[in-house]
């Protein structure tokens, strides 16, 4: 309602399209930046190392539980 009063009914559809395009571009740039940072710090390797550590801890707990 406020958009119709402030922008006008004729310009509102174009304004909404413009806002959506701008938001989409911003979102894409953010994801590109995030991917770049993750690549630079080797995030995938870190995730894999953490996953492996958690699996080893789980395996040790199961092993300790079976040996008792």
**CA–CA dist 12, 7 (Å, integer):** 6
Query: What are 18-47's pLDDT values in tens digits?
Result: 999 999 999 999 999 988 888 888 778 888
Q: Is residue 40 part of a domain?
A: yes
Q: Is residue 11 part of a domain?
A: no
Contacts 24+ apart (CB under 8 A), 24-27: none
Q: How many CA atoms lie within 13 A of 58 on its CB side?
A: 6
| pTM for this prediction | 0.53
| DSSP three-state, residue 8 | coil
Overall number of domains in the chain? 1
Q: Is residue 46 part of a domain?
A: yes
Q: Is residue 55 part of a domain?
A: yes
């Amino acid at each position: 309602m406020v958009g119709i009063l402030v922008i006008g009914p004729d310009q509102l559809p174009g304004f909404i399209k413009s806002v959506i395009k701008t938001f989409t571009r911003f979102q894409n740039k953010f994801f590109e930046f995030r991917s770049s940072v993750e690549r630079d710090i080797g995030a995938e390797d870190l995730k894999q190392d953490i996953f492996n550590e958690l699996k080893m801890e789980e395996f040790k707990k199961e092993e300790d539980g079976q040996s008792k």
